[in-house]
């Protein structure tokens, strides 16, 4: 894959050594490659560099700005204006030797920033500011949206608060720290960062609100010292680590972020942060997730200073937000550590929907006529797993009693709502009911993303991007001889589908055509085509419940399809479900994070540091491969910390399987939203023979044909990075970032 890269001067919105090489020049607040490489003097004409983010994606009324001054020009001669007002006093040559200032007082909309210098001419850039409460590119905001207590307005804004914590030297646990009344000397533990600095293990946790959701930022902090973005405290290593929540839900309203008190990462010197809107259980809208993450990174740069690189982490739903953002909004992360991973929420929803149909059928094969007996082995063959427990787990353990009924005011993983799983926080009086409140709020993921997917003209509900028209459930099992023709026919005749209100119906329900290309180009179905950053997938071996191993390899199949290889993805497998291998020693005693993840963080950090140090002209994709450390390779572990080097043994110990749609013949990439159809043909089933009656039933069930998986999905296309929905459903790519321009 060849990337076309703009010059550093043209990519003003990021300092990440990864982000500056992003596809199409689309970058966000990132690391320090451009930032730290800049100097007060430059051979270039006078330039204005907006450091905290793209100049058109600024929020909250402020922006960190650097002015690159030509060699030989005195900084004292520089004059800076904002909207015609002199703000030169906000700028100076800082301790980092750069001429910088924090520009405040930006109004919502366009703000013209100009700089002049004696003998160096003038330059200007337009900074487009957005409200701290959003939105920026996500489009109209989800309603209703009640705020947490203490909010000062309907956008959930409230004053920033700070709390200090310390690690107790005896318990290795965090305790509250009062700077005005510090604990007894010798009580506070020390930590040595990965930069070799030994400091008291005191952490400051900042909590604030952005984009109608809370954020938290934790970092080693000496309360007796100050902190400026151009003069951060030495304990911070310049790197950030993001924690994410689990699940997948459609919560309406402000919530709290996942915990940031990870003393492994903090002890190394990482800043650990998170947002409530990256907690997948609370907010499964990938566009709003990315927006909140981008805004938080901007705030970090403006408040704390340049970011070298950012690493994502999290399990289950915590893997989803990472992999979606890495593909849909590249540059938010420089490397990711998905654990117990899924490719995305929507692909998972298709699996859940198919499992719902399979469990309904196997639990009641007589629903639409006399049924046929099935063994558990045959059920498993149809579902693509070693046993029928995976689909049962989705339905029973996780409460999929009613699936995606939009009348429910509770919701959960995937496309569909879940009874008794996770409240979507809609008052009963405002909730949808087809009889009593047909215009009410529908608690399902499609309607939670209606501003991206658009509305159906017939009822105003969100367009649905997936269907099962033409899907031959159990096809692979039939062709292998695991099930009989009679079973195959009976299953497909009775599988049916669910209507727009998630009521069971005997016919197959088609997708709404406008939603299919939107889902692909917007990355709802993660095609992986923009995922070129390092990925270290932590797989706790699991073939018993929903977090099955195949999801990691499904992502791999998409990478192979999109790039011709998966050189940037490493999979580690350990025996403990979810956790992997729990015997790795943590870098810091008493770590709150998984030891498996702790070891992975070390490898990812080494990988990104090597890329950061690579000053060759190679593309980012090439650097990811060229600078991959020897420790970053596929591996499996035995449960006591030992790596098993024989991959044949690994495959035997930790096999992976599939899911119902793949068992129906879909490619292992598992991302066909609506299959292209072909006519029923007896020859396709050879040597299977159907009776005349069975063939007639198949013809009636598939009147328009069956899936032709030799062809791509209807509407299938690569994900377009950095889609904006500010102008309405369907979205448009942001395009190139604004740049500094000389004034004539």
Lowest mean pLDDT among 76-80, 383-387, 423-427, 522-526: 423-427
Q: DSSP letter at 251?
A: -
pLDDT at 22 over 60: no
Of 431 and 400, more confident: 431
Q: Would you place residue 585 in the very low, low, confident or very high pLDDT band (cuts 50, 70, 90)?
A: low
Please say whether the dihedral angle defined by the alpha carbons of residues 510, 511, 512 and 516, taken in this order, is positive or negative.
negative
Round to whole Å and give the CA distance between 589 and 57.
40
The pLDDT of residue 402 is: 34
The pLDDT of residue 591 is: 35
The answer to whether 210 touches 275, Cβ cutoff 8 Å, is yes
Q: Which residues pair with 208 in a beta bridge?
A: 215
Share of the chain above pLDDT 70, in %: 89
The answer to whether 284 touches 248, Cβ cutoff 8 Å, is yes
The pLDDT of residue 2 is: 30
Give the angle subtended at the CA of 23 by the CAs of 17 and 24, to the nearest 5°: 115
3-state secondary structure of 415: coil
Whole-angstrom CA distances from 726 to 136, 440, 624 are 7, 24, 33
In this prediction, residues 398-418 reach a mean pLDDT of 43
3-state secondary structure of 81: strand
pLDDT at 684 over 60: yes
The pLDDT of residue 590 is: 34
Q: Which two tokens stand for residue 292?
A: 């909140």
Round to whole Å and give the CA distance between 35 and 8.
10
DSSP tally for the chain: helices H, then strands E: 18, 33
Of 714 and 372, more confident: 714
Mean pLDDT, the chain, rounded, equals 89
The answer to whether 333 touches 312, Cβ cutoff 8 Å, is yes
The pLDDT of residue 423 is: 59
Q: Which two tokens stand for residue 41?
A: 């003097």
pLDDT at 32 over 70: no
pLDDT at 93 over 80: yes
In this prediction, residues 458-480 reach a mean pLDDT of 97
The pLDDT of residue 364 is: 86
229-241 pLDDT, tens per residue?
999 999 999 999 9
Give the angle subtended at the CA of 560 by the CAs of 576 and 517, to the nearest 5°: 105
The pLDDT of residue 24 is: 35
Instruction: Spell out the SS3 assignment of 501-542.
Output: CCCEECCCCCCCCCHHHHHHHCCCCCCCCCCCCCEEEEEECC
CA nearest neighbour of 297 among 242, 351, 258: 242
- Domains of the chain in sequence order: 38-130 (2.60.40.10), 346-521+659-717 (no CATH)
The pLDDT of residue 8 is: 27
């Amino acid at each position: 894959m060849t990337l076309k890269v703009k010059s550093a001067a043209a990519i003003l919105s990021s300092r990440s050594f990864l982000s500056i090489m992003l596809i199409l020049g689309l970058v966000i607040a990132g690391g320090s490659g451009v930032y730290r490489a800049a100097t007060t003097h430059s051979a270039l004409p006078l330039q204005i560099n907006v450091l905290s983010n793209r100049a058109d994606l600024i929020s909250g009324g402020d922006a960190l700005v650097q002015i690159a001054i030509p060699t030989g020009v005195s900084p004292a001669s520089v004059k800076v204006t904002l909207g015609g007002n002199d703000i030169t006093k906000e700028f100076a040559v800082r301790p980092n030797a750069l001429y910088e200032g924090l520009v405040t007082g930006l109004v919502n909309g366009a703000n013209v920033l100009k700089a002049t210098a004696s003998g160096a001419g003038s330059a200007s850039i337009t900074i487009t500011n957005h409200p701290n409460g959003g939105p920026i590119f996500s489009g109209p905001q989800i309603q209703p949206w009640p705020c947490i207590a203490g909010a000062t307005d309907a956008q959930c804004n409230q004053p920033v608060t700070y709390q200090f914590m310390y690690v107790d030297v005896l318990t290795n646990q965090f305790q509250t720290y009062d700077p005005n009344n510090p604990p007894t000397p010798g009580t506070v533990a020390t930590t040595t960062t990965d930069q070799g600095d030994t400091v008291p293990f005191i952490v400051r946790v900042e909590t604030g609100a952005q984009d109608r959701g809370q954020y938290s930022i934790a970092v080693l902090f000496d309360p007796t010292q100050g902190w400026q973005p151009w003069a951060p405290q030495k304990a911070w290593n310049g790197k950030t680590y993001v924690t994410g929540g689990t699940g997948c839900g459609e919560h309406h309203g402000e919530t709290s972020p996942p915990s940031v008190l990870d003393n492994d990462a903090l002890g190394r010197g990482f800043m650990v942060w998170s947002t409530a809107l990256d907690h997948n259980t609370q907010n499964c809208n990938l566009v709003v997730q990315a927006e909140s993450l981008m805004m938080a990174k901007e705030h970090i740069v403006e408040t704390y200073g340049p970011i070298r690189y950012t690493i994502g982490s999290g399990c289950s739903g915590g893997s989803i937000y990472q992999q979606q953002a890495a593909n849909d909004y590249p540059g938010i992360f420089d490397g990711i550590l998905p654990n117990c991973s899924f490719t995305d929420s929507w692909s998972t929803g298709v699996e859940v929907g198919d499992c719902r149909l399979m469990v309904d059928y196997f639990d009641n094969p007589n629903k639409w006529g006399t049924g046929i007996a099935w063994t558990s082995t045959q059920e498993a063959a149809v579902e693509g797993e070693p046993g029928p427990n995976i689909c049962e787990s989705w339905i029973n353990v996780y409460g999929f009693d009613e699936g995606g009924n939009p009348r429910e005011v509770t919701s959960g993983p995937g496309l569909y709502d879940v009874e008794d799983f996770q409240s979507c926080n809609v008052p009963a009086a405002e909730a949808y009911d087809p009889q009593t409140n047909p215009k009410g709020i529908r608690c399902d993921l499609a309607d939670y993303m209606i501003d991206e997917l658009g509305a159906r003209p017939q009822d105003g509900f969100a367009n649905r991007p997936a269907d099962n028209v033409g899907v031959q459930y159990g096809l692979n099992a039939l062709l292998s001889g695991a099930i009989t023709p009679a079973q195959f026919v009976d299953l497909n005749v009775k599988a049916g589908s669910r209507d727009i209100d998630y009521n069971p119906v005997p016919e197959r329900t088609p997708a709404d055509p406008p939603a299919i290309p939107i889902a692909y180009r917007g990355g709802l179905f993660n095609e992986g085509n923009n995922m070129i950053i390092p990925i270290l997938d932590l797989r706790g071996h699991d073939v018993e419940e929903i977090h099955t191993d195949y999801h990691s390899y499904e992502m791999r199949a998409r990478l192979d399809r999109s790039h011709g290889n998966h050189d940037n993805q490493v999979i580690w497998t350990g025996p403990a479900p979810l956790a992997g291998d729990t015997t790795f020693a943590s870098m810091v005693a008493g770590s709150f994070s998984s030891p498996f993840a702790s070891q992975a963080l070390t490898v990812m950090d080494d990988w990104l540091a090597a890329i950061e140090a690579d000053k060759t002209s190679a593309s980012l994709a090439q650097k990811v491969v060229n600078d991959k450390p020897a420790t970053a390779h596929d591996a499996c572990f035995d449960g006591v910390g030992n790596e098993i080097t024989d991959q044949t043994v690994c495959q035997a110990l930790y096999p992976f399987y599939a899911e119902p749609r793949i068992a129906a013949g879909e490619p292992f990439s598992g991302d066909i939203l609506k299959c292209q159809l072909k006519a029923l043909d007896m020859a396709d089933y050879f040597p299977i023979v159907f009776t005349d009656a069975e063939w007639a039933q198949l013809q009636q069930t598939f009147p328009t044909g069956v899936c032709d998986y030799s062809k791509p999905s209807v509407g299938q296309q690569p994900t377009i990075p950095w889609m904006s929905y500010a102008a309405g459903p369907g979205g448009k790519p942001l395009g190139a970032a604004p740049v500094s321009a000389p004034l004539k």
